[in-house]
A and B are shown apart, each in its own frame.
Chain A
Amino acid sequence: MRLTGAQIIVQLLERQGITTIAGIPGGANLPLYDALSQSRAIHHVLARHEQGAGFIAQGLARASGKPAVCFATSGPGATNILTAIADAKLDSIPLICITGQVPSALIGTDAFQEVDTYGMSIPVTKHNFLVRSAAELLTVIPEAFRIAASGRPGPVLIDVPKDVQNQVLEFQAWPEPGCPDPAPAFALTDAMSAADLINTAASPILYIGGGVIHAGAAHLVRRLAEKASIPTTMTLMGLGAVPVDHPRAIGMLGMHAARYTNMALEACDLLIAAGVRFDDRATGKVAAFCPKARIVHIDIDASELDKIKTAHVGIVGDVREVLEVLLPMVEEQPRTAWLAYIEELKVLYPLQTPGADAPCTPYGLVLQAASLLDDDAIITTDVGQHQMWAAQVYPLRHPRQWLTSGGLGTMGFGLPAAIGAALAYPTRTVVCFSGDGSLLMNIQELVTAVEEDVNVKIILMNNNSLGLVHQQQDLFYGGRLFASDFQARVDFGSIARGFGMAVYDLATAPDPHATLARALSTPGPCLIHAPIDTQEKVYPMVPPGAANKDMIGGEGRPLSWAPSADAVAGRVYVTAHA
């Protein structure tokens, strides 16, 4: 075979099974785009900003669980896409980013649109390559796919100088497509120790995160929770792994958890942490997190064990493989007293959702949208108050139903990620909950949604402010609002229509519920504008740096009946029963 480097890249991507690539062409990746134009297997999605391209690929990867690919040119193309790559690193998303680079001979000369893409991408990728010959592509591309999908997934960047894209190579055979390595082996004795701890625990809690979703282990977590009667809490990244209405589910933990969830954690004597990394938004002040608990920590990344909390039993392995071995060793137990205590907490300290029945409050909007959608709908969010409101109350029931920027917390994630998810699953409805601050950060992708005619519904909670900043300034900075309340009002309806997108405005609709129903059921992309009160806050909240037990807000109404003495005294389960 006699092909150029660019043709080799495109054909290797086809051989990996790639059918969609998001990107933007420019001077240094024109040979690659020329080769891509000849592909019959790959559909190219033209983003309008490289960060959008990166997040479209992320949407594809998060929804499908398979590595996805994005393209950018050198210089500003590469710097623009770095945010989406860093986001993929923090949430462990398999992403392959291929950037054009100035010709090899010009590297290091401050050539036009030259930046050190390789150097800049080191700290935000799982691995990266600067390709120096067309022949190297035959190993680098499959390697990139292997690395992105093996162990703890992550982004891989491949920087390809223009002359390498143009170089003609004669070669005999195609390499095998890159596939994930087998997961690390773990010791049976460690699983037995974990089972011992679980079997002897009086008040265990399962604490599960994105790793459970990556591993395809959600059904096993459910079985473990059911068999051994273990209340199960999820991180922001773990939402959907266990259905919210499952009897053992106790919701999301941490900064914006329901009070009862954090209180349950306070009381547990064993924390079974699976596919989680003890992020500060989940743990609050670490020294005060689950103070009475022993810890079983299962994670595929050895460096996560003992990083924040030392595990009594640490198992490095794939969560699914570990749970398959662990499940038969775990005894069936009713744990009646512990579950009764959890139920009591749930009744006494539930999540307060004021306005849940009203159409134009944050909770009302999320719940109404949910009532109009089925479990097939994919939910993406941007970052801010709307993200937390949706995380608190949207009835998520399936892994990969919920796509949100967890670790990096990137405003501007929601819309392009929704486009990617809709491209991966064209028959499903994708709803993007966004805020006015977030939507403005990648608003140019409205036109990409229109061009691709994806079934994306943006529900824009517009409070004309940076809501979560506004909230923190209100609560922790003496109410000195600065740079968080927007002065000018944006007419999002005109903007969306300008991009050619259908618009539904709940502010002026005579029957907002009917309008929302029409918007969600009409195929194709649309913007649903919903003004909300700037004073609305996400409660309860753990102040930054505080312990999870020190939540503010969201106390609810005084009880009309008498709770148990233990609960009133604030005595926790383990002390009461030890």
Chain B
Amino acid sequence: MSRLTPETPTPLRSESPQVVLELTVNNHPGVMSHICGLFARRAFNVEGILCMPIGTGAQSRIWLRVPADHRLEQMLRQLRKLEDVVSVQRHGADHEVFVRLEEFFQA
């Protein structure tokens, strides 16, 4: 049994296990709003986000690093419902896309 509303607020920098999500989306100005809003209105913190157009530019790839808590499965189902989301793939937290970027994100 899972509820969407968290019992306690999610900390800014999550200590919980994380996952990396790979999204293929239609490329237009509203897409990031749709995706970020989906997480934000559930108080689900997005730890990392990368987005670039792919191929002809009609589609974009979005990489997200998010906490792997009990709400994740529901988030994936909600993501798949968005009209502009073409596919959603789930990877482990150690996926190299964020690891290789770490040198750009030193405090």
Partner-B contacts on A (CB < 8 A): 118-119, 122-123, 126-128, 130, 147, 286-287, 301-303, 306-310
Q: Would A310 and B1 count as touching, CB distance under 8 A?
A: yes
Contacts across chains A and B counted by CB atoms under 8 Å = 39
Q: Would A286 and B1 count as touching, CB distance under 8 A?
A: yes
Contacts of A147 in B (CB 8 A): 83
Q: Would A122 and B33 count as touching, CB distance under 8 A?
A: yes
Q: Would A119 and B78 count as touching, CB distance under 8 A?
A: no
| Min CB gap B85→A, angstroms | 11
Contacts of B29 in A (CB 8 A): 130
- Given known contacts A303-B78, A307-B74, is B1 in contact with A119 (CB within 8 Å)? no
Q: Would B41 and A123 count as touching, CB distance under 8 A?
A: yes
**CA gap between A301 and B78 in the complex, in Å:** 10
Contacts of A308 in B (CB 8 A): 1-3
Question: Can you list 20 pairs linking A and B with CB atoms under 8 Å apart?
Answer: A118-B30, A122-B34, A122-B37, A123-B41, A126-B83, A128-B30, A147-B83, A286-B1, A287-B1, A301-B81, A302-B77, A302-B80, A302-B81, A303-B80, A303-B81, A306-B2, A306-B73, A307-B2, A308-B2, A310-B2
- Given known contacts A122-B34, A309-B1, is B80 in contact with A127 (CB within 8 Å)? no
Name A130's closest neighbour in chain B (CB-CB): B30
B4: Cβ under 8 A from any A Cβ: yes
Chain B 60-107 residues near chain A, CB threshold 8 A: 73-74, 77-78, 80-83
Name A122's closest neighbour in chain B (CB-CB): B37
Q: Would A303 and B77 count as touching, CB distance under 8 A?
A: yes
Contacts of A127 in B (CB 8 A): 82-83
**CA gap between A118 and B30 in the complex, in Å:** 8
Scoring A128, A147, A303, A306 by chain B CB atoms within 10 A of each residue's CB, the highest score goes to A303
**CA gap between A286 and B34 in the complex, in Å:** 30
**CA gap between A443 and B4 in the complex, in Å:** 36
Name B73's closest neighbour in chain A (CB-CB): A306
Contacts of B4 in A (CB 8 A): 307
**CA gap between A126 and B78 in the complex, in Å:** 11
**CA gap between A308 and B37 in the complex, in Å:** 21
Contacts of B83 in A (CB 8 A): 126-127, 147
Contacts of A287 in B (CB 8 A): 1
**CA gap between A309 and B1 in the complex, in Å:** 5
Q: Would A123 and B37 count as touching, CB distance under 8 A?
A: yes
| Min CB gap B21→A, angstroms | 16
Which 7 pairs, one residue from A and one from B, show the smallest C-beta to C-beta distance? A303-B77, A127-B83, A122-B37, A302-B77, A303-B78, A123-B41, A122-B34
Contacts of B77 in A (CB 8 A): 302-303
Contacts of A301 in B (CB 8 A): 81
**CA gap between A94 and B5 in the complex, in Å:** 27
| Min CB gap B43→A, angstroms | 13
| Min CB gap A301→B, angstroms | 7
| Min CB gap B98→A, angstroms | 26
**CA gap between A123 and B77 in the complex, in Å:** 16
- Known A126-B83, A303-B80, A310-B2; further 10 A-B contacts with Cβ < 8 A: A287-B1, A303-B77, A303-B78, A306-B74, A307-B4, A307-B74, A308-B1, A308-B2, A308-B3, A310-B1
| Min CB gap A288→B, angstroms | 12
